[in-house]
Amino acid sequence: MTHAPHIPVVGSRPQRPDGADKVTGRARYGADLSLPGMVWGAVLRSPHAHARILSIDTSAALALPGVLAVLTSADMAANFSADVAAGESHIDLQDMSRNVLAREKVLYHGHAVAAVAATSQRLAKEALKAIQVEYAPLPVVLDLDAAMHPDAPVLHPGMFTRGLPETPSVASNIASRLVMQKGNVDEGFAEAEVVMERTYTCASAHQGYIEPHACLASAGADGQIDLWCCTQGHFAVRSYTAALLGLDPASIRVTASEIGGGFGGKTTVYLEPLAVALSRKCGRPVKMQMSREEVFRATGPGSATRITVKVGARRDGTLIAMDALMEYEAGAFKGSPAGAGAMTIFTSYSAPHQRAVALDVVVNKPKVAAYRAPGAPQAAHATECLLNELAAELGIDPLDLRCRNAVTNGTPTVYGATLRNIGLQECLDAARVHPHWSAPLGPNQGRGLAVGFWFNHGAQSSASVHLVEGGKLLVQEGNPDIGGSRASMALMAADTLGIPYADVHPVVADTASVGYSDMTGGSRVTYATGYAVIEACRELVERLKSRAATVWGVEPSQVEWRDGVAIDGRDPSRSMSIAELAALSGRMDGPLSGQGSVNLKSAAPSFAVNIADVEVDPETGASRVLRFTAIQDAGRAIHPDFVEGQLQGGAVQGIGWALNEEYRFDANGVMENPGFLDYRMPVASDLPMIDTVIVEVPWPDHPFGVRGVGETPICAPIAAVASALNAAAGTTIREVPLSPPRVLAAIMAKD
């Protein structure tokens, strides 16, 4: 029997398996599920940015008809001894518990203080008003200087700066000081012919996912709990919820709904432990969903930052020394991505002497959460803008300056890894030949170039594959599909088995239906979870070969697997298709499946080069991005449409951060713009098409060469846009966002 050869599908652009559900409204997101007997939860939030909680009286609320349960920190454990490992970072449960529900103090305006469950949303909100909380307001700390002042009010009396040479005796708002270095920067600057030092700031920007946090929890009388929620990691939700509530993780089954965006912001828990605790108290399913205002006030934005960068170079543009002081606001609890910023700030450049000093500083604002390449866009803003200023100072083309100093394979990084198989030079080459780089500019227009770097992540993933009647394949994986990853899994499975893409049915399985998988984050899903899917498919192939060998009475090693068909190596005319083998299951050793579990220790360094053209109206300071080109090394683009989508979406998030987006607080620490009207994200009419170039330098540790593409796209745009705008306006604004009032003020100051 002859079989048609399998045409490889990796690298093609089929429709995603879940596409029809998403265009018809059938896909179910966090707030879309309801259960019989369900009641509604709501959260009481602090009206103060910093205050001691003296007392909470819930009796009046509990007495209201329709109110079934009230929750305060008194219902939660007060002390936690262990941390929970969580992918790229570790979690301090003491802090996480107090962020989910304030205990001794409220630390930001909007901080959760209590929660209720009632028979309707309306009653739940009414009940919040009946909860009496007595506060003793404290002075608020709203920026880096105020927080680091020697006389600053201390947010956490037990927090002493980590990372200092000597253990400090006084509590501080500086949670940690981290130094990453190689070479000797003092010697490097002594060698330099030109030294430039500048300070750059970025405002806090929100991830801006369109779907507010939502969940539905149902606790049974036997302690079994079902939790449905929108999250980037349902296994993490299980771990955190179990740890915070003192439950057995195996008793909690978490189902990840479709997720309406996350960008890092859905890698922690806010409502989920509250919903579970309320459901345990009242014995009914409890649904909770945040308003947009709650999302802004109480969920993680990215850090506001101040970064002072100093570079030393020769007159020919060769960089010798690079030094940075990186101050990152963490919000109310420690844990800004200052360290990640320090890992990225100079990694694109070969200067032998590098140092980054990173401070993690707490302030009375919402605790920051991961935001796409956490810490790196702000770092790249500083370095890349300064290099553009240096290029102008030295009269060198900005692209030539990058090419002269780009890192190469074999370069050790400040964080320990040695770079290998990188595609930075290939991205720079692609920029040089792109028509955008040499296109003419008109009046009031400027061009900016920037390089972006992110280290990516590997870690733990699981997958199972099951052969279904007819030879179709069911793929179970444990990572919420936030941008088309089901399609990537199906493409890799199809080519590994040699079967059509349409025969593969990927499912994002709940925590009781697939093995542990780290979060959808770190640009790791196509890399690590894809690897687990490939491993599972390979195991299935071995079983298929073994079964064919039994049928033919030969050794499994004598069976070849090619194009979805088992072939007898001794007699290639003899073959069995995957469907034929599947049909034998009941008469042979039963159902055919495969398992894949990986813990990838390596991660592929990822580089991008962005070119932006901006036009400024000198009368108003308003600006517009006219053209944008995003070039990035994907390793291998499994599904190019979704890779392009990552590049385009990251570019536009960066454009928003560069030009408009910012948290604005009043003197009491109240966010003044907690809605999409005043927190201005880019809309379709603000933008041009976003041109993309996918560079493919395969990463050798992955069977298909995947590098991971999700985060790097947001690293370079802020710097590219800011540099373009400054070139257009003839200004040197080093603060982000470059909003029209700020740009106009700079233009007027110049005139």
Q: Which residues bind another protein (CB under 8 A)?
A: 13, 15-16, 18-20, 22-29, 31-32, 34, 122, 207-212, 258-263, 289, 291-292, 482-484, 487, 639, 641-642, 644-646, 648-653, 675-677, 681-687, 689-690
User: What separation in angstroms does the CA of 570 have from each of 556, 558, 651, 740, 741?
Assistant: 12, 7, 55, 75, 78
Nearer to another protein, 173 or 529 (CB): 529
For another protein, give the closer residue by CB, 258 or 613.
258
Q: Of the two residues 429 and 641, which places its CB atom closer to another protein in the complex? A: 641
Which of residues 343 and 652 has its CB atom nearest to another protein in the complex? 652
In whole angstroms, give the CA distance from residue 100 to residue 92.
12
| Region label for 459, one of left (φ > 0), alpha (ψ between -120 and 50) or beta (otherwise) | left
Q: From the CB of 27, what's the least distance to another protein, in Å?
A: 6
Looking at the Cβ atoms of 470 and 675, the one nearer to another protein is: 675
Which residue from 504, 308, 432 is spatially nearest to 693, judged by alpha carbons?
432
- The Cα–Cα gap between 655 and 357 comes to 27
Smallest distance, Å, CB 464 to another protein? 25
Cα–Cα distance for residue pair 40/68, rounded to 1 Å:
10
Smallest distance, Å, CB 612 to another protein? 13
Q: Round to whole Å and give the CA distance between 405 and 410.
A: 14
Q: How many CA atoms lie within 13 A of 399 on its CB side?
A: 20
User: CB of 318 within 8 A of CB of 149?
Assistant: no
3-state SS, 406-455, equals ECCCCCECCCCCECCCCCHHHHHHHHHHCHHHHCCCCCCEEEEEEEEEEC
- Cα separation, 245 vs 101, in Å, equals 12
Single out the residue of 429, 434, 440, 733 nearest to residue 607, CA to CA: 429
Strands 225-229 and 252-256: parallel
Residue 393 bears catalytic tag: no
CB of 691 to another protein, least distance (A): 9
- Write the DSSP assignment of 270-303 as a string of letters: SSHHHHHHHHHHHSS-EEEE--HHHHHHHS-BPP
CB of 718 to another protein, least distance (A): 15
Q: Which residue, among 245, 224, 225, 217, has the nearest Cα to 93 in the 3D structure?
A: 245
Minimum distance, C-beta of residue 673 to another protein, in the bound complex (Å): 12
Minimum CB distance to another protein, residue 114 (Å): 22
Rounded to whole angstroms, the Cα distance separating 489 from 508 reads 11
Torsion of CA 266, 268, 272, 276, to 10 degrees: 150
Maximal C-alpha separation, the chain: 89
Q: Which is nearer to another protein, 565 or 631 (CB)?
A: 631
Residue 75: C-alpha distances to residues 97, 220, 294 (Å): 11, 19, 23
Question: Shortest approach of another protein to residue 89 CB, angstroms?
Answer: 23
CA atoms within 13 A on the CB side of 248: 5
Instruction: State which residue, 428 or 482, has the beta carbon closest to another protein.
Output: 482
Which of 258, 327, 661, 711 does the annotation list as catalytic? 711
Three-state secondary-structure class, residue 547:
helix
Exposed / middle / buried, residue 218 (Cβ in 10 Å: 0-12, 13-18, 19+): buried
CB of 39 to another protein, least distance (A): 13
For the CB of residue 558, give the shortest distance to another protein in the complex, in Å.
Answer: 42
Chain centroid, CA 261 distance in Å: 10
Distances (CA, A) of 186 to 127, 274, 343, 387: 62, 52, 20, 19
Strand pairing of 39-45 and 132-137? unpaired
Please say whether the dihedral angle defined by the alpha carbons of residues 183, 187, 191 and 196, taken in this order, is positive or negative: positive
Three-state helix/strand/coil letters over 179-202 = EEEECCHHHHHHHCCEEEEEEEEE
Complex with another protein: residue 569 or 645, whichever CB lies closer: 645
**Which one, 63 or 683, has the nearer CB to another protein?**
683
Q: Residue 53 or 709: which CB sits closer to another protein?
A: 709
Least Cβ distance, residue 29 to another protein (angstroms): 6
Closest approach of Cβ 88 to another protein, in Å?
A: 21
Nearer to another protein, 192 or 494 (CB): 494
Rg (the chain; Cα; Å): 27
**Comparison of 301 and 498: residue with beta carbon closer to another protein:** 301
| CB 267 within 8 Å of CB 372 | no
Q: Are 360 and 175 in contact (CB under 8 A)?
A: yes
- Which are the catalytic amino acids? 711
